[in-house]
Amino acid sequence: MKWVIATALSIALAMFPSELRAKNSALVLHQTSFFLGEQVTYLLPNLIAIKSEMATIIVHPKEDTIFMYSSKKKIYLDMPYSEWIKRFQGRLATDSCCRIKQGKTGTVCGWECIRYVREPKMRQADLWEFWMAQKAGLPPATLGALVRFADFPQVPGLPLRAIKRTFNLDRSNGKVSYSSPINALETTKIERTPIPSGLLKLPTGYRKVDDELELLLSDDGESMEGLFDEALPGHAAAKPLHKPAR
């Protein structure tokens, strides 16, 4: 009996570190986007952290805070997340001149997604398609905060892909056409790993700014507005919509 108890205790102690690491591990999305380029998104039940060369962005949904800093410029900014949302509301999924329709299912990195399509309702506009994973295992409040970051559809799910087709009007004949599909957001890998130590801490010596454009404006003049513009040269085109990448 003592041997059984000792053996069980040894197994429990051996398993504890791995279980602790699993509990503290984040859902990690390796992604590319129009604006941030290569980025890594870390997701915990009450935390969103996005790491890119341009900036590190940290959101606490329950506390209604967004904090970001630039290691290149040595500056940082913090503000209520509700204020950030107001600045982008109506630009994309919540544009009152468009409607969101549920489409077919597909997979991204092996995760099953529902596709949601933004179509023009009152005027011509760009076509967008959003791929939302349904089994992220995160609280609705956290998922809701993530989709509102760039005004994606406010539907249950984790945004893994966004595809854009730009609206073009030929003024000589009034005909409407759309560009080839391009990826505004693409997820290339999904895993679970701990958040890197120090990512959530502001380095010393940084200067506070009040304007997010000062922090997010890159050297070539691109800003968050670029999230809704055409893809920059060098960004890969999306695969045809009827042949989704798996």
Query: 138, 128 in Cβ contact below 8 A?
Result: no
The per-residue pLDDT for 97 is: 79
Question: How many Å apart are CA 107 and CA 50, to the nearest integer?
Answer: 23
Question: How many Å apart are CA 128 and CA 97, to the nearest integer?
Answer: 13
User: Computed from CA positions of residues 227, 231, 235, 236, in that sequence, does the dihedral angle turn out positive or negative?
Assistant: positive
**Is residue 1 domain-resident?**
no
**Is residue 223 domain-resident?**
yes
- The residue range of the domain holding 74 is 24-228
**Is residue 178 domain-resident?**
yes
**Is residue 59 domain-resident?**
yes
* Percent of the residues in the chain that have a pLDDT greater than 70, as a whole number: 78
**Is residue 9 domain-resident?**
no
The per-residue pLDDT for 105 is: 94
**Is residue 215 domain-resident?**
yes
- Interval 178-189: pLDDT, tens: 778 888 999 999
- Interval 217-238: pLDDT, tens: 765 555 444 444 433 333 333 3
| Band (158; pLDDT cuts 50, 70, 90) | very high
Q: What is the 3-state secondary structure (H, E, C) of 214-240?
A: HHHCCCCCCCHHHHHCCCCCCCCECCC
Burial of 150 (0-12, 13-18, 19+ CB in 10 A): buried
Query: 114, 102 in Cβ contact below 8 A?
Result: yes
Question: How many Å apart are CA 245 and CA 238, to the nearest integer?
Answer: 9
The per-residue pLDDT for 102 is: 92
- Interval 193-225: pLDDT, tens: 999 988 988 888 999 998 888 887 765 555 444
Q: Which residues contact 184 (CB under 8 A, 6 or more apart)?
A: 33, 34, 128, 162, 163, 164, 227, 231
**Is residue 19 domain-resident?**
no
Which CATH number goes with the domain that contains 221? 2.50.20.10
**Is residue 188 domain-resident?**
yes
Question: How many Å apart are CA 47 and CA 43, to the nearest integer?
Answer: 6
pTM of the model: 0.77
Q: What total of structural domains would you count in the chain?
A: 1
